[in-house]
């Protein structure tokens, strides 16, 4: 499911960023070759030795300076586009090659045209992954396709008529969203040198005052509901994918048809937790720590929390971030006991086995949840529709540690539209 989801959203995002000349004159199109060097951080004890990580990326982008839509003007004409890259993680035998496709958005930083911040989220394909017999030291990747994320700061140190030269520093991450274990992921820190090549035939000098409308400041309220279907793995001894079911709601405000902030709730049901309890597995058997879970498997396999939710609209497309606080997630204690003790915890756990300690790290991850992803709206948010529907793909986490990958369908109702003073 995750592979089809990610591919779908890559195409949705790319075409959402594409522009139509019938709507407005074309904005500046650029091609930016980029070379990066850096370090692949160790993902596990005994991780293979690595040399310098090397990346080559082609960024295809459009500046939104001539885009009359409100989001483009509110965000100060960012650049949007698609990156295609290839990565040598510093050990071809064990880590292999990663091939990445990633939609991105790039903003001005510090109020300067020289400083830029780029962020993107997409997918990567790997030629090498963990194998207990042939590649046991690399516990970073166990699936062919993973999520990919990058966040970079650039400085333009030289500008000519056709090329802007830039250097940068940033962070890249790859993981499979907890759909299969092991899932340590790759974390990398790199420096970048890039050349933004401007196309003089597609870089029109026009009087934008004649095509760009002047927008009034607006605000309206909304409420929304969604249903989600996620998948994750539980532990090495229970490494098949099972579903996570979600229902959620929220209430908030949208400012200038571009920025959304809201508060809400979520309810989740973890099939893995339920099956472990119903199956009378080791840690819920009589006399064991969680034997009381069997009194109500549904209740103890459930998760209830409250959220703060932010989103940036790019008309049909939404960049979505949610932070949550778990009011009720009892089975995460069981999850932690199994996965944070000795390595390779077996299905039948003896009483002598060292289990994960419910320490400060557990307490934080038990309570704090996060959710990052992309949405596609049926009706562009530029029109501030009263009723709208969306499809979303998200990575859910426990304080940054992947929990499950999710596909969701949502409904949004907007009301009380008014101008801001």
Looking at the structure, do residues 177 and 233 belong to the same domain, yes or no? no
Domain boundary among 182, 210, 238: 210
Looking at the structure, do residues 174 and 53 belong to the same domain, yes or no? yes
CB atoms inside a 10 Å sphere around CB 62: 20
Pair 81, 103: CB distance under 8 Å: yes
Q: Tens digit of pLDDT per residue, the chain (421 long)? A: 444 455 445 545 544 454 444 444 556 789 999 999 999 999 887 899 999 999 999 999 998 888 888 998 899 889 999 999 999 999 999 999 999 999 999 999 998 889 999 999 999 999 999 888 898 888 888 899 999 999 999 999 999 988 999 999 999 999 888 888 888 889 999 999 999 998 755 555 555 555 677 888 999 999 999 999 999 999 989 989 999 999 999 999 999 999 999 999 999 999 999 999 999 999 999 999 999 999 999 999 999 999 999 999 999 999 999 999 999 999 999 999 999 988 889 999 999 999 999 999 999 999 999 999 999 999 999 889 999 999 999 999 998 788 999 999 999 999 998 887 6
Looking at the structure, do residues 258 and 343 belong to the same domain, yes or no? yes
- How far from 114 is each of 73, 107, 166, 407, CA to CA, in Å? 19, 11, 9, 38
Looking at the structure, do residues 206 and 227 belong to the same domain, yes or no? no
Residue 185, domain CATH: 2.40.160.20
* The pLDDT value given to residue 211: 65
Print the domain residue range for 267: 218-419
- pTM of the prediction? 0.87
Looking at the structure, do residues 78 and 203 belong to the same domain, yes or no? yes
DSSP-derived 3-state class of residue 291: helix
E strand or H helix that includes residue 73: helix 70-74
Domain boundary among 158, 179, 210: 210
Domain boundary among 190, 210, 230: 210
Reported as a single tens digit per residue, the pLDDT across 280-316 is 999 999 999 999 999 999 999 999 999 999 999 999 9
Residue 268, domain CATH: 2.40.160
Q: What is the DSSP letter of 110?
A: T
Looking at the structure, do residues 188 and 43 belong to the same domain, yes or no? yes
Tally of domains in the chain? 2
Looking at the structure, do residues 91 and 14 belong to the same domain, yes or no? yes
Q: What phi and psi values does residue 218 have, to the nearest 5 degrees? A: -130, 165
Looking at the structure, do residues 266 and 383 belong to the same domain, yes or no? yes
Looking at the structure, do residues 154 and 17 belong to the same domain, yes or no? yes
β-strands 401-419, 163-175 pairing:
unpaired
């Amino acid at each position: 499911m995750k592979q089809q989801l990610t591919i779908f959203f890559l195409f949705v995002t790319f075409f959402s960023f594409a522009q139509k000349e019938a709507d407005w004159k074309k904005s500046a199109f650029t091609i930016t070759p980029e070379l990066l060097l850096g370090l692949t951080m160790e993902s596990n004890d005994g991780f293979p030795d690595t040399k310098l990580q090397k990346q080559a990326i082609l960024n295809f982008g459009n500046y939104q300076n001539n885009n009359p839509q409100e989001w483009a003007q509110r965000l100060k004409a960012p650049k949007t586009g698609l990156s295609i890259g290839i990565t040598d993680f510093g050990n071809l035998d064990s880590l292999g090659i990663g091939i990445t496709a990633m939609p991105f958005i790039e903003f001005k930083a510090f109020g300067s045209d020289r400083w830029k911040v780029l962020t993107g989220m997409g997918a990567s394909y790997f030629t090498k992954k963990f194998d207990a017999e042939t590649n046991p030291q690399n516990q970073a990747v166990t699936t062919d396709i993973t999520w990919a994320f990058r966040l970079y700061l650039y400085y333009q140190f030289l500008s000519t008529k056709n090329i802007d030269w830039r250097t940068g520093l940033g962070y890249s991450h790859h993981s499979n969203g907890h759909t299969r274990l092991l899932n340590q992921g790759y974390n990398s820190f790199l420096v970048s040198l890039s050349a933004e090549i401007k196309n003089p035939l597609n870089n029109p000098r026009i009087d934008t005052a004649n095509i760009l409308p002047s927008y009034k400041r607006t605000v309206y309220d909304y409420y929304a509901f969604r249903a989600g279907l996620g998948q994750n793995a539980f532990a090495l001894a229970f490494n098949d994918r099972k579903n996570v079911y979600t229902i959620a709601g929220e209430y908030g405000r949208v400012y200038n048809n571009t920025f959304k902030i809201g508060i809400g709730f979520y309810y989740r049901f973890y099939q893995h937790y339920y099956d472990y309890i119903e199956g009378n597995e080791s840690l819920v058997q009589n006399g064991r720590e969680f034997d009381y879970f069997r009194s109500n498997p549904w209740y103890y396999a459930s998760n209830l929390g409250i959220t703060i939710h932010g989103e940036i609209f790019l008309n049909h497309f939404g960049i979505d971030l949610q932070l949550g606080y778990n009011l009720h997630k009892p089975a995460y204690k069981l999850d932690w006991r199994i996965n944070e003790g000795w390595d390779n915890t077996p299905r039948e756990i003896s009483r002598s086995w060292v289990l994960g300690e419910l320490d400060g790290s557990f307490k934080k991850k038990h309570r704090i949840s996060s959710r990052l992803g992309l949405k596609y709206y049926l009706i562009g948010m530029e029109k501030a529709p009263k009723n709208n529907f969306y499809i979303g793909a998200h990575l859910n986490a426990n304080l940054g540690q992947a929990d499950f990958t999710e596909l969701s369908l949502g409904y949004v109702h907007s009301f009380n539209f008014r101008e801001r003073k």
